[in-house]
């Protein structure tokens, strides 16, 4: 069954209600039918609200099925999904390898918080492939990837990295938010843990914060489940419901955003003032061959360089936009634009771009209106001289 079909059916209650969506069950206490069962609940019967009720269970099963994974843990944000993945496999005295393009707050966790628990991070090139083996000293416990990186858009060679990591007994983790687990199937490429901010495309309407981690093997599933339980990671029933609902239309929405993003990227490429366009689905992206090999489709999030622009020019450009909002996050129905430079951090590799880097998160609006809006932005910068 294709994802488009599967996503219309997942999470249906199997009882006689006839409803096509899971109920939203709220609860902390779940009364045990007998004292004996208080400490010995039969498999499948939740004993306490924190482990998740109908809508959370529907979402877990849906994501396990979509990814082909053994277990899905839910978290209350995408940032937490990354953190849960790391805490599942890293131990004091170990080292995590992370690509230099990972999401900023995850990077802050790695550099500011994780060392307090005895785990150090070494950053590696964001477009790394087989060379990752050279960094895998005996103290390395895990590799954290983000492909493409959500600002700078470099891709990694996932199957190669997964194979080398497996050979050395190192766990591979990906933040797979860009593809929403739809156009990339990281576990099928051998990656061990796929973390995702469901806040983005799966939620799809900029009204939910949620994350998920799916484990590839039963052994990792046990460790992920145990860590999720021990640390009290939790997702609320209403949010899980919204994510299941978002899955129904995920393919359609992503297709629309991706198509529009490519139209806009093509238009940007005709402008003299615009430099490199960083869109993995374009043939001029440096790792486009990897994209074509590993992904079945695109998303609507990409960046472009404007040589010669300083921060003030980016701000003039953004302030002139009337349809694009200026704001964090992406994957919603509305288009957003940000200037990336103030938040770019690199330690393994220099940030390789000229002038300013602008990121566009393309939503559902008509492409012509978005292009007219961007024209307004460029005109405002030109008018300032
Ligand atoms: C790539 C990536 N991963 C994780 C996150 C964090 O997700 P959340 O905002 O749900 O914590 C973001 C948010 O922008 C992101 O861009």
Q: What values do phi and psi take at 93, rounded to 5?
A: 95, -10
Residue 348 · residue 285 · CB < 8 Å: no
pLDDT tens, residue by residue, 204-247:
999 999 999 999 999 999 999 999 999 999 999 999 999 999 99
Handedness of CA 274, 380, 154, 110 (dihedral sign): positive
Residue 106: per-residue pLDDT? 98
Q: Does 201 participate in catalysis according to the annotation?
A: no
Residue 21: per-residue pLDDT? 94
For the residues 282-298, what does the mean pLDDT come to? 98
Cα of 300 vs centre of ligand 1, distance in Å, is: 15
Residue 338: per-residue pLDDT? 98
DSSP 214-269: EESSHHHHHHHHHHHHHHT----HHHHHHHHHHHHTHHHHHHHHHHHHHHHHHHHH
Residue 364 · residue 332 · CB < 8 Å: no
Q: Where are the beta strands (DSSP E) in 152-216?
A: 171-175, 193-197, 211-215
Cα of 1 vs centre of ligand 1, distance in Å, is: 29
Residue 336 · residue 329 · CB < 8 Å: yes
Structure tokens at 23: 């109920």
The more confidently predicted of residues 103 and 354 is 103
Residue 75: per-residue pLDDT? 98
For the residues 335-346, what does the mean pLDDT come to? 95
pLDDT tens, residue by residue, 107-164:
999 999 999 999 999 999 999 999 999 999 999 999 999 999 999 999 999 999 999 9
pLDDT tens, residue by residue, 255-271:
999 999 999 999 999 99
331 pLDDT more than 90: yes
pLDDT-wise least confident of 16-25, 91-100, 169-178: 16-25
Q: Which of 145, 329, 359 for mutating ligand 1's site (highest number of atoms within 8 Å of CB)?
A: 329
Confidence of residue 17 (pLDDT cuts 50, 70, 90): confident
Write the CATH number of the domain with boundaries 3-248: 3.40.640.10
Given the structure tokens 């990906």, which residue do they identify?
174
d(CA 303, CA 274): 11
Q: Name, in order, each residue with C-beta under 8 angstroms of 90's C-beta and a sequence gap of 6 or more.
A: 96, 114, 119, 141, 142
- Provide the Cα torsion 128, 134, 139, 144; round to 10°: 10
d(CA 220, CA 70): 8
Q: Does 103 participate in catalysis according to the annotation?
A: yes
For the residues 295-314, what does the mean pLDDT come to? 97
74 pLDDT more than 80: yes
For ligand 1, atom 14: residue with the closest CA: 329
Cα first-last separation, the chain: 56
- Using CB distances shorter than 6 Å, the residues near ligand 1 are 77-79, 103, 146, 150, 175, 177, 197, 199, 209, 211, 328-329
Candidate list 3, 127, 175, 239, residue with the active-site label: 175
Residue 49: per-residue pLDDT? 95
Cα of 147 vs centre of ligand 1, distance in Å, is: 13
Confidence of residue 366 (pLDDT cuts 50, 70, 90): very high
Count of other CB atoms within 10 angstroms of residue 276: 19
3-class secondary-structure state, position 180:
coil
3-class secondary-structure state, position 42:
coil
Q: Does residue 93 come out as left (phi exceeding 0), alpha (psi in the -120 to 50 range) or beta?
A: left
Burial (0-12, 13-18, 19+ Cβ within 10 Å), 344: middle
CATH number, domain 250-384, options 3.40.50.300, 3.40.50.10800, 3.40.50.970, 3.90.1150.10? 3.90.1150.10
For the residues 195-206, what does the mean pLDDT come to? 98
Structure tokens at 210: 């949620």
Q: Which of 109, 177, 196 for mutating ligand 1's site (highest number of atoms within 8 Å of CB)?
A: 177
14 pLDDT more than 80: no
Residue 149: per-residue pLDDT? 97
pLDDT-wise least confident of 37-41, 116-120, 313-317: 37-41
Residue 304: per-residue pLDDT? 98
Residue 98: per-residue pLDDT? 98
CA distances from 267 to 167, 327, 383 (A): 45, 23, 21
Percent pLDDT > 90 in the chain is 92
Given the structure tokens 């983005």, which residue do they identify?
200
- What residues does each domain of the chain span? 3-248, 250-384
Alpha-helical (H) ranges within 90-181 are 104-108, 158-167
Candidate list 3, 60, 103, 239, residue with the active-site label: 103
Structure tokens at 214: 């799916």
Average model confidence (pLDDT) for the chain? 96
The more confidently predicted of residues 140 and 4 is 140
């Amino acid at each position: 069954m294709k994802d488009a079909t599967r996503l219309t059916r997942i999470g249906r209650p199997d009882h006689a209600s006839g409803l096509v969506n899971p109920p939203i069950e709220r609860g902390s206490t779940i009364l045990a039918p007998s004292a004996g069962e208080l400490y010995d609940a039969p498999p499948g019967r939740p004993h306490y609200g924190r482990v998740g009720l109908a809508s959370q269970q529907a979402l877990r099963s849906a994501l396990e099925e979509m990814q082909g994974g053994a277990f899905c843990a839910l978290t209350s944000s995408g940032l937490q999904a990354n953190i849960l993945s790391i805490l599942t496999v890293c131990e004091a005295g170990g080292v995590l390898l992370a690509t230099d393009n990972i999401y900023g707050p995850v990077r802050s966790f790695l550099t500011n918080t994780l060392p307090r628990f005895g785990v150090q991070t070494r950053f590696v090139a964001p477009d790394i492939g087989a060379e990752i083996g050279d960094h895998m000293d005996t103290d390395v416990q895990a590799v954290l990837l983000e492909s493409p990186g959500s600002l700078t858009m470099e891709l990694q060679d996932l199957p190669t990295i997964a194979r080398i990591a497996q050979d050395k007994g190192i766990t591979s983790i990906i933040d797979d938010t860009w593809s929403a687990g739809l156009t990339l199937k990281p576990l099928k490429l051998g990656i061990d843990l796929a973390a995702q901010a469901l806040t983005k495309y799966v939620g799809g309407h900029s009204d939910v914060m949620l994350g998920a981690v799916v484990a590839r093997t039963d052994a990792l599933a046990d460790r992920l489940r145990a860590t999720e339980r021990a640390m009290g990671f939790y997702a609320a029933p209403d949010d899980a419901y919204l994510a299941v609902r978002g899955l129904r239309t995920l393919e359609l929405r992503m297709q629309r955003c991706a198509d529009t993003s490519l139209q806009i990227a093509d238009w940007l490429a005709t402008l003299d003032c615009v430099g490199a366009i960083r869109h993995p689905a374009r043939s001029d992206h440096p790792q486009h061959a990897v994209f074509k090999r590993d992904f079945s489709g695109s998303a609507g999030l990409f960046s472009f360089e404007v040589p010669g622009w300083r921060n003030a020019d980016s701000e003039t450009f953004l302030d002139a936009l009337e349809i694009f909002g200026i704001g964090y996050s992406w994957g919603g129905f509305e288009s957003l634009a940000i200037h990336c430079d103030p938040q770019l951090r690199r330690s393994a590799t220099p940030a390789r771009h000229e002038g300013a880097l602008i990121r566009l998160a393309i939503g559902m609006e008509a492409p012509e209106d978005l292009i007219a809006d961007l024209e307004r932005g460029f005109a405002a910068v030109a008018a300032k001289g």
